[in-house]
A and B are shown apart, each in its own frame.
Chain A
């Protein structure tokens, strides 16, 4: 079965320092992977997606993620954190259903950015 595991439930960084949010996946074939962000009282917003094209994926707001098959990882990074990055981040895998598809979410990583 396909799944994702987010290795940290909470991450705290200082503004201007790098961000690393870790995600490992489990899949018997090449997965479609995503990172979504959820700000308080807001809906989910797609940050970036990997669909078997380039392994280094660039997203919005300076975020990027690298698909590493050998490590079964899809970690999210950003060179320099901003206060507005404080939010919950979800690593997601897409699973095909009988006639459609569904997203399976990780448990989330709460990112805190301090001055």
Chain B
């Protein structure tokens, strides 16, 4: 069975541009979460979506937005890119909200470089 898939795997943008990252969860998983991992640090929570509704938002500026589609895939958008947005963006899925187990299944990430 396919795991969490993310695209693109690598991309380079310049400051001020916009980027869209895509995520397909494991089949049957209805919740998608996004995390940002800056080099040398642990991942930081950006968003959680469940059944197309936002269920949690981390401490990120409004330049970051996301949505979840009826097929449970998700997109993360970042506008007006800054150098500091350079990071590995990880998508994770779970069957439900994982309130009991908290177990998330992670994709391999999209590595964004902002020049």
Chain A contact residues, CB within 8 Å of chain B: 32, 34, 36, 41-46, 49, 51, 90, 94, 96-108
Report the bound CA distance from A44 to B103 in whole Å.
11
Report the bound CA distance from A87 to B111 in whole Å.
18
Q: B45's contact among A46, A103, A108, by CB below 8 Å, is which? A: A103
The answer on a CB contact under 8 Å between B41 and A32 is no
Segment of B65-73, B78-86, B93-101 engaged in the interface with chain A: B93-101
Q: Is the interface on chain B under 10, 10 to 19, 20 to 34, or 35 or more residues?
A: 20 to 34
The answer on a CB contact under 8 Å between B48 and A51 is no
Q: B58's contact among A99, A102, A106, by CB below 8 Å, is which? A: A102
The answer on a CB contact under 8 Å between A45 and B42 is no
Which of chain B's residues have a CB closer than 8 A to the CB of A98? 55-56
Q: A100's contact among B42, B48, B107, by CB below 8 Å, is which? A: B48
Q: A49's contact among B3, B90, B101, B106, by CB below 8 Å, is which? A: B101
B15 to chain A, nearest CB (A): 26
Report the bound CA distance from A74 to B102 in whole Å.
16
Report the bound CA distance from A85 to B39 in whole Å.
20
B76 within 8 Å of A by Cβ? no
